[in-house]
Chains A and B, each alone.
Chain A
Amino acid sequence: RYYEYIFGHSRRRTWGRRPLAARAEPELFQLQVVIEAADPGCDRHPQLASSEAYHLTVTEPVAILKAPEVWGALRGLETFSQLVHEDDCGSFLVNESEINDFPRFAHRGVLLDTSRHYLPLKSILINLDAMAFNKFNVLHWHIVDDQSFPYQSIYFPELSDKGAYSSNLIYTPTDVRLVIEYARLRGIRVIPEFDTPGHTQSWGKGQKDLLTPCYNGGQPTGSFGPVNPVWNTTYDFMTKFFKEISSVFPDEFIHLGGDEVDFSCWKSNPEVKEFMKKQGFGIDYAKLESYYVQNILDIVSSYNKGQMVWQEVFDHKAQLKPDTVVQVWMANNYARELSRVTGAGFTAVLSAPWYLDYISYGQDWKKYYSVEPLNFSGSEEQKKLLIGGEACLWGEFVDATNLTPRLWPRASAVGERLWSSSNVTNLQDAYKRLTNHRCRML
């Protein structure tokens, strides 16, 4: 596909020019791609620890792209494709170059939300292409939420039968496999998020007795709140459900959510209140949330998956596994949160300054570009615990009609911030390269 990217949109082809006569300059005949590791990884999935380093030497007559693993080769191919340019006569040129490159941060992600609005497969795949152009390597698939449940589960088909917007607005197992493979071929990990116990209204449509019934004056109101943490059936369900998820999604990590849990429904429910008393939680519902979360973390751990959670899980003092990744999203004083999370010894991923769904007039890419993720107080070891970040495009006001122009090229600013060295900060220079890059992506 890189051959097509580089030579496919040739002006010469569109203007119907005759083939060129021989030129005086040296000619580049070949780009050799060499993967150094004994096991290059071509049949496996990229991981957090994968090497994405590469060495590119462009000289006549043969250019060489060397990388320890295939993932680095992909990054190097992208770079090479950016070095080749077409002159006014339709000749393709590339400067002699020597490049030694590797990412600053290992986790460079984009969050897509397919629950607030369904995103057709094509949209997701186009987005994966754009991510590859920007060396992003994680698709954080926020696949279900309150509004809809488009994930077609094998064990619990009712979840999408009753919870999706409609029967054709779902992701079948085939669809999911396609996304995972399309991503893999671009060196992109797919981390699914099944956010609980809040953000689960749509789960209740297809799974009876999962959500907490809310009460008013001793009577159920008919509406439901977060997942019910006091019933054993809840954990039976989650055990089975996450067994499926663990086998469907090959990445080592699953995102378990845990954000914005509204306690009012729990507080109204007599069984829950009874449980709080029995557990000695007093009136601290954060303890109940942590009780629930800890159980889920245990379940998912037992399937040998690592867990990612939103920051509330850490803030409410749930007991996390040592390798749990905490995603910091609250904009207010996020530097302090990063200090706290890494200070407690946990790995962190930064999203707070990169909520790209918050559109505004003008060149807002500059403020995304100017973020310095390590600008928080902490020791050297602490700072190593910040493994990267994610640009988030929440779907309240986004669907296939506006996803691409809303996300790109603004997300490119985040992509560079996460890959490039910390001293690459010049806005004027970035502007020049970003405008070129945008045209190239089109």
Chain B
Amino acid sequence: AENEPSWETPCTKLLVYVSTPGCDGFPSLESNESYKLSVSKGSMLLSAETIWGALRGLETFSQLVGRDENGTYYINETEIVDFPRFPHRGLLLDTSRHYLPLKAILETLDVMAYNKFNVFHWHIVDDPSFPYESSTFPELSKQGAFNAMTHVYTASDVRSVIEYARLRGIRVIAEFDTPGHTLSWGPGAPGLLTPCYIGKAPSGVYGPINPIVNSTYEFVTSLFQEVSAVFPDFFLHLGGDEVDFTCWKSNPEIRAFMVEMGLGQDYKKLESFYIQRLLDIVSSLGKGYIVWQEVFDNDVKLRPDTIIHVWKENNLQYLNEMANITRSGYRALLSAPWYLNRISYGQDWIEAYKVEPLMFEGAPEQKALVIGGEACMWGEYVDVTNLTPRLW
């Protein structure tokens, strides 16, 4: 039934105008997400430079529409000019500690879009499991997944995620974390991980990727060749965090290598040796890379366009880290105060909200190197039964 309008004339159309075509492309770090929204009598116009801005504007528009007691949808006259402060606004999901079914990932992408997130950082494999089905190395998931039939991401699954994300203006940055965090790689890639020793004999236990054998670099080249083709984003996350040196130290071949290369007792140098070669491989594949902060902290030689991911949280130390990274001319990504897996009682959203990423000493050009941040939902205690209420 028609109500007697106490409102203005009804609006029936939201015109969306995008100046640069690009609906078939992928969003990138440089994408322009700005938009203008004009709502006035009889006309509603959303205009944006790119389709990515239009998506953000659509989300805003959807939040402006209200419904009154009669069920009538209404919207206030509005003039909005909006654009993001930081271009990299990400969310990390961990599908190794616990497998997350495709539906859970897609649902997360939906909620990310409601919150204008634009990067899905897929920490896809780690110590506990290897769910990524590799076409080059099918044994990796066959031997390394929790269940090779039910707890894997097929090539089709991965494509679904990438496309679902793209349609929401979300970049998918895959992380294949090495040389640590790789226990699940071992069963499907014999000879890849370092055999640990007790005295003169192998203990049967394995450690990080073995950095001294050529086969490692052949393997890594092939794997990242595939990964670079599968994931269209310019950036890959290469990990590089929390490398435990004990196993390397225990291995006589590695100890010999250290002597041979004149690295002394400094295993950080061995780690750097591996990482540098990895970075070169990935560069030659035409990809940029993001690494966890240890790679920077341990003085690895990095390309100038490397992005350093700050995660260590110790009494606001992360602000110093951000200062150091940007002072050295690298771009920085902040996650340290946003480890959402670390739950606590009460309204902890307030602490996360109060974070000011640029609260460190530095020139404006330095601060411009902070490209954004990521909320992290590590999976040690998270699976599909509790992901959504824990994250949102």
- Which residues of A pack against B, CB within 8 Å? 357-363, 397, 401-402, 404-406, 442
Q: Are A360 and B386 touching (Cβ within 8 A)? A: no
Q: Are A359 and B389 touching (Cβ within 8 A)? A: no
Residues in A whose Cβ lies below 8 Å from that of B353: none
Q: Are B389 and A405 touching (Cβ within 8 A)? A: yes
| A402 to B385 Cα, complex, angstroms | 10
Listed by A's residue number, 20 A-B pairs whose Cβ atoms lie within 8 Å are A357-B345, A358-B345, A359-B343, A359-B344, A359-B345, A361-B341, A361-B343, A361-B344, A362-B381, A363-B381, A397-B345, A397-B346, A397-B347, A401-B388, A402-B386, A402-B390, A405-B385, A405-B386, A405-B390, A406-B386
**A-facing residues in B93-114 (Cβ within 8 Å):** none
Residues in B whose Cβ lies below 8 Å from that of A406: 386, 389
Distance to closest chain A CB from B104 (angstroms): 13
Q: Which of A360, A401, A402, A405 has the most CB of B within 10 A?
A: A405
Q: Is B342 at the interface (CB under 8 A from chain A)?
A: yes
**A-facing residues in B333-392 (Cβ within 8 Å):** 341-347, 381, 385-386, 388-390
| A406 to B382 Cα, complex, angstroms | 12
Distance to closest chain A CB from B110 (angstroms): 15
Q: Are B342 and A361 touching (Cβ within 8 A)? A: yes
**Count: A-B pairs, CB below 8 Å:** 31
Residue of B nearest to A408 (CB): B385
Distance to closest chain B CB from A90 (angstroms): 15
Q: Are A442 and B385 touching (Cβ within 8 A)? A: yes
Distance to closest chain B CB from A441 (angstroms): 10
Q: Are B346 and A360 touching (Cβ within 8 A)? A: no
Q: Are B343 and A360 touching (Cβ within 8 A)? A: yes
Residue of B nearest to A404 (CB): B385
| A401 to B392 Cα, complex, angstroms | 10
| A358 to B389 Cα, complex, angstroms | 16
Residues in B whose Cβ lies below 8 Å from that of A358: 345
Among candidates A357, A362, A363, A401, residue contacting B389 with C-beta atoms closer than 8 Å: A401
Residues in B whose Cβ lies below 8 Å from that of A401: 388-389
| A405 to B342 Cα, complex, angstroms | 16
Residue of B nearest to A361 (CB): B342
| A402 to B389 Cα, complex, angstroms | 6
Residue of A nearest to B344 (CB): A360
Residues in B whose Cβ lies below 8 Å from that of A363: 381
Distance to closest chain B CB from A50 (angstroms): 33
Residues in A whose Cβ lies below 8 Å from that of B390: 402, 405
Residues in B whose Cβ lies below 8 Å from that of A397: 345-347
Residue of B nearest to A405 (CB): B386
Residues in B whose Cβ lies below 8 Å from that of A442: 385
| Among all A-B residue pairs, the 9 with the closest Cβ atoms | A402-B389, A405-B386, A361-B342, A358-B345, A401-B389, A405-B385, A359-B343, A361-B343, A359-B345
Residue of A nearest to B347 (CB): A397
Residues in A whose Cβ lies below 8 Å from that of B388: 401
Residues in B whose Cβ lies below 8 Å from that of A361: 341-344, 381
Residue of B nearest to A402 (CB): B389
Residue of B nearest to A363 (CB): B381
Residue of B nearest to A442 (CB): B385
Q: Mark B301-345, 1 if CB is under 8 A from A, else 0.
A: 000000000000000000000000000000000000000011111
Residues in B whose Cβ lies below 8 Å from that of A357: 345
Distance to closest chain A CB from B146 (angstroms): 12
Residues in A whose Cβ lies below 8 Å from that of B343: 359-361
Distance to closest chain A CB from B333 (angstroms): 23
Residues in A whose Cβ lies below 8 Å from that of B381: 361-363
| A406 to B345 Cα, complex, angstroms | 11
**A-facing residues in B155-177 (Cβ within 8 Å):** none
Q: Are A360 and B389 touching (Cβ within 8 A)? A: no
Residues in B whose Cβ lies below 8 Å from that of A360: 343-345
| A401 to B344 Cα, complex, angstroms | 17
Residues in B whose Cβ lies below 8 Å from that of A359: 343-345
| A359 to B343 Cα, complex, angstroms | 7
| A362 to B341 Cα, complex, angstroms | 9
Distance to closest chain B CB from A24 (angstroms): 28
Residue of A nearest to B381 (CB): A362
Distance to closest chain B CB from A30 (angstroms): 33
| A360 to B341 Cα, complex, angstroms | 10
Distance to closest chain B CB from A306 (angstroms): 33
